[in-house]
Amino acid sequence: MNTTTLDTPRVGDAPAEAPCTYSIGRRLSLLLAIQTVIGLGVLLAFIYGATSMLFMAKHEEELRSYSSVLVDVLREAEADGGEAEVKAKLAWLAERRPGTFVQMQRADGSEFYRDAAPTFDVTHPSARGTDFTVPMKNGGTLQGRLVLDCSQDAKTARRMALLLVGAVLAGAALVGWGTFWRVRCSLRPLLDLAAQTKAIDARRLGQRLSLDETAEELQPLIDQFNGLMHRVERTYVQLEGFNADVAHELRTPLANLIGHTEVALSRERSVPELEETLHSNLEELHRMAAIVNDMLFLAQADRGVKARRGAPVSLAQLVQQVVEFHEAPMEERGLSVAIEGDARLSVDEPLIKRALSNLLGNAIRYADQGTRLCVRIARESGGGVRLWVENAGPSIEPEHLPRLFDRFFRADAARCEMEKPHHGLGLSIVAAIARMHDGFPAAESSGGTTRVGFSLHGTDAAKPA
């Protein structure tokens, strides 16, 4: 006895973790904000470095020019009045240049002069200094040190650095917000598509996705989705029709079984009567079994199962074997068969015989009495072969031909008379066998002649025998 075990969650099993999601708008905003910080940071760092170098060059130039002025002035003062005049000149210059500090030493290291009260911290890192030498008339020298107050420029540089950092952050925030807003606006069509997709259900399978303004990037996705929905709708409609047809086909034999059984149980029956009832029920059960088996075969073919090909065989010989199987119904209707053409092909012999039997049985059922059936085997390009079964009889309406291979389809009531019982899966099985051989079914009907067949594809097709 076959049993099926359902996978049920066990107590203690950890719940499945939900997949991580992220926002495209936020991610793009963050990435562009980071790129903006890096780009603006590098650019503004270069600007800050260039400005700092300009400040340093200006300080160096001021120190160089003022030290040169000091040397010239002190030499003139020493020539005019000696050391006393030099000290007086240094004190006079100190009053007029409050942003500088001067200290002089003799050659022996003793202090010669020092500004009384500098207006800035000469030891601060922002202060910059330089050494200079003043030659004296007596052959000696004075060693001097000039220190320049650069605190204002340092403050300016710090303010500029803060301003540049603020500009980087503000630029990154502006770019991030602008990107998020633009991405949200740009992704609005996706939100519209998501809303349209959410509105599709089993009652609205005919609804399709569309945009007011066609987006070049989204249109392929929309076309593919709409194509998928078209196939889903078609399959759903076929499934609904298939379910209804199955119920209809099984209802008749079940009703017959129930009716026969109820009649048999309504009163005492003799053994022959009970045997007749059982035989009748057995026929209905065989009919139901045939329907179920055909449905299982079609389900297997729908899963993409391929035919098991054997060694190349003569298709004409297979047709002849099928014709011999149908000799009795053909003689009953006064029909004859002609087989035209032949080809050797690697096929699944039982499946091909089944398809040919369905086609030949269909032709016998609807052919005019006393006419001639024809089975044609023709080679096609690419190593394929096409088989046709042709009969003379009532033509099929053109609007019915595309659905001829649908399950449980009947063209009209005249083609499913009670004296010609069949459950409407024969041609569907033919189409399935053709697909299992990488082929396709085909049907034509006009002028009182109907041709139904299928193609087969293989690599072992040879010239007709």
Residue-wise pLDDT for 149-158, tens only, equals 888 888 888 8
Could you give the CA distance from residue 149 to residue 100 in angstroms, rounded to a whole number?
Answer: 6
Out of 292-296, 386-390, 412-416, least confident range:
412-416
Share of the chain above pLDDT 70, in %: 90
Report how far Cα 4 is from the mean position of its chain's Cα atoms.
35
Could you give the CA distance from residue 28 to residue 405 in angstroms, rounded to a whole number?
Answer: 53
The pairing of strands 372-380 and 336-340 is parallel
Burial code (b: 16+ CB inside 10 Å, e: under 16) for 15-42 equals eeeeeeeeeebeebbeebbeebbeebbe
Strands of the 336-340 sheet, one edge to the other: 336-340, 372-380, 384-392, 449-457, 441-446
More confident residue, 437 or 4: 437
Look at residue 19 in the predicted model and tell me its pLDDT. Answer: 63
Could you give the CA distance from residue 323 to residue 58 in angstroms, rounded to a whole number?
Answer: 112
CB 298 within 8 A of CB 427: no
87-140 pLDDT, tens digit each: 888 888 877 778 888 888 887 888 888 887 777 777 888 888 888 888 877 777
Average pLDDT over residues 199-205: 82
With a cut of 60, say whether residue 46 has pLDDT above it: yes
> pLDDT confidence of 172, banded at 50, 70, 90?
confident
Q: What is the mean pLDDT of the chain?
A: 81
